[in-house]
Structure 1
Amino acid sequence: MLEDSAQGLCLRALHHPQFKPLRCDWTAAEVMRRIAAGRQQLLPRAIGLHKQRELSVLDATAGLGRDGFTLAALGAQVTLVERQSLFAALLRDARARCLGEARWAEAAQRTHIIEADALSVLGSGQRWDVVHLDPMYPHRGKQALPQKEMQILRELSGGDPDADALLEPALRCARLRVVVKRPASAPPLAGRDPSHVLQGTQARYDVYLPLRDA
C-alpha cells in the first residue's frame, strides 16, 4: 500500500513486514554519485550522451527511474514508462519533489512519465533517438535474492516474461540505437547479438543499431 510520509510517497509491502517502506528518491547519494561521474560512465556512453547531448530517450522499463533521471540530469529528454501502477505513483512523486528543488528542477522538467505497458508505447508510432531497455532477468534459485525493491517489483509485476518481445519494436521506433542492460553473463535479449557491447564487471550494455526500411 502507498503511504504519505514527511519524505514523500512510499510503498509499504505488508507481506514483508521486515522491509522498510520503499521510496523513489532521485536525489539519493547513489544517484548523485552517478550524475557527478558524468557522461563517460557506461550507460551515458552506451546511450551516446558523451557525443551528443539533448538526445530523446525512451526508458521503456523505468522501475524507480534512477537511470532515467541520471540521463536527464546529463542533458537527455527522457520518457519513463512504467506499467506497475504503484511504482508509477512513486515515479510521479519523485519528479514532483525534484521540480520543487531549484537544483534539480531543470533535470526533472526533462522527464516525462507514462503509466503504460512498454509494448503499447513502442507500438504507438512515436519515435525517440534512443530506446533503453532494462528488463528484469529471471531469478535463479541458487542466486542471492535481488535487492528488496526488485523483489517487490517482481512480485507486483510478475517479472518481465515479455522482455524478448520488446527488442524488435524498440528497434523500429529508435532513430539512432537501442541500449539493453543485461547481467554480465546473461545471453543477449531475444537471442540476438548486438552491434557492439560495453562491458562492466557485473552488467553490460548491448547496443543495437535500428532497423532500416528496405
Structure 2
Amino acid sequence: MAETRNVSFELEAGAQGLRLRALHRPEWEPLCIDWLSADVRRRILAGRKQLLPRALGLHKKADVLIADATAGLGRDGFTLAALGARVILVERHPFVIELLRDALARASTCDEKWAIAACARVEIVQADAREWLRHCPHALDGVHLDPMYPEDGKTALPQKGMQMLRELTDGDDDSAELLRAAMASGAARVAVKRPTKAPWLDERQPNADVVGTQARYDIYLNRR
C-alpha cells in the first residue's frame, strides 16, 4: 500500500489482471492496463502515418530503438512496438512498474502472433528517467516524452486512468528537466507531446513539429 499526500493506493489481483485501487476514491473503478483493448488496437490499425509514429520517424524506418521516458499506461509504447519499433518503457513508480509488467505478461500469452511479436520488442526498466537518460547504455534512435499537462481548470479532465496516475505520482512535474536529459542521451530525435497551443517545453524551440487537432509533437534533433 502507498499512502502519501492524503491519498492511498493498493494493488490487488483481479479476474482480468493486476489492478490499482485508489482507496481514497471509492467511487473510482480500479485501474487495469490492457494492451489488447479496442482503443489500443485502433491506434495500431491507424498505422505509421499518425502523429506519434511520424514524430519518431517510424513512417520512414520502423526498426528503431525508442525510449518511452514517460511510460504511463504503456499504450503509446506498445503501439510503437506493434508498428515495428523496439521500445524501452522507463518508469520509476513501483506500482506502475508492476502494472506494466502484468500488462506485458498477459499480452505475451495471447494467441495473436502480432501481439506476441510486439511484446518481444518491449523492455520495461524501473528507473528515474532523468538519470537513466543521462547515463543511457543504448544508442537510441528516439525518445518519447508525454509529460502530464498541468491542471489549469480550463482543459478537460484526462481519462480516469490518467487522473489516477496523476494522483499516485503527484503529477511528476519535472518535464523540463526530463527534456534536457533526453537531449543529453544522444538520441537522434526527441518527440515531446504538447497541447496544440501550449508553449514549447523549457522554452526550447524545436527543429520541427507534427500538429494534429488537439495535440502536437515538438521534434528535437541531435547531431551524431
**The TM-score by the shorter chain falls in which range?**
over 0.9
- Using the size of structure 1 for normalisation, the TM-score is 0.95
- Using the size of structure 2 for normalisation, the TM-score is 0.91
8 Å contact from structure 2 (residues 188, 223) kept in 1: no
125 and 80 in structure 1: CA distance in 2 versus 1, 3 angstrom threshold: closer
8 Å contact from structure 2 (residues 69, 90) kept in 1: yes
Instruction: Give the C-alpha shift of residue 142 in structure 1.
Output: 3.8
The one-character-per-residue Cα deviations of 1:146-180 (angstroms, maximum 9, x if unpaired) are 22112211111111221101112211224321000
> Which residue pairs with 1:171 in the alignment?
183
Once superposed, what is the RMSD of the aligned Cα atoms?
1.3
Q: Partners of 1:78 and 1:194 in 2: how far apart?
A: 23
Q: Partners of 1:26 and 1:178 in 2: how far apart?
A: 24
Q: Partners of 1:148 and 1:19 in 2: how far apart?
A: 8
Greater Cα shift, 47-56 or 99-108: 99-108
> Which residue pairs with 2:57 in the alignment?
48
8 Å contact from structure 1 (residues 10, 90) kept in 2: yes
Give the match's secondary structure for 1:175. Answer: coil
Q: Partners of 1:32 and 1:161 in 2: how far apart?
A: 30
> Which residue pairs with 2:131 in the alignment?
120
> Which residue pairs with 2:76 in the alignment?
67
The one-character-per-residue Cα deviations of 1:86-137 (angstroms, maximum 9, x if unpaired) are 1111100000011101321110010000111111111123231101111111
Give the match's secondary structure for 1:146. Answer: coil
Greater Cα shift, 49-58 or 133-142: 133-142
1:19 aligns with 2:28: yes
> Which residue pairs with 2:221 in the alignment?
209
Q: Partners of 2:186 and 2:31 in 1: how far apart?
A: 32
Q: Partners of 2:60 and 2:131 in 1: how far apart?
A: 30
Unaligned runs of 5+ in 1: none
- Output the amino acid matched with 1:164: A
Q: Partners of 2:106 and 2:37 in 1: how far apart?
A: 12
> Which residue pairs with 2:6 in the alignment?
none
User: What percentage of aligned pairs have identical amino acids?
Assistant: 57
8 Å contact from structure 2 (residues 188, 221) kept in 1: yes
8 Å contact from structure 2 (residues 131, 181) kept in 1: no
> Which residue pairs with 1:145 in the alignment?
157
> Which residue pairs with 2:17 in the alignment?
8
> Which residue pairs with 1:76 in the alignment?
85
8 Å contact from structure 1 (residues 130, 174) kept in 2: no
Q: Partners of 1:125 and 1:33 in 2: how far apart?
A: 32
- Output the amino acid matched with 1:191: E
8 Å contact from structure 2 (residues 89, 123) kept in 1: yes
> Which residue pairs with 2:3 in the alignment?
none
Unaligned runs of 5+ in 2: 1-9
> Which residue pairs with 1:108 in the alignment?
119
- Output the amino acid matched with 2:159: Q
Instruction: Give the C-alpha shift of residue 10 in structure 1.
Output: 0.8
Q: Partners of 1:200 and 1:137 in 2: how far apart?
A: 17
Instruction: Give the C-alpha shift of residue 211 in structure 1.
Output: 5.3
**How many aligned positions are there?**
212
Q: Partners of 1:53 and 1:47 in 2: how far apart?
A: 9
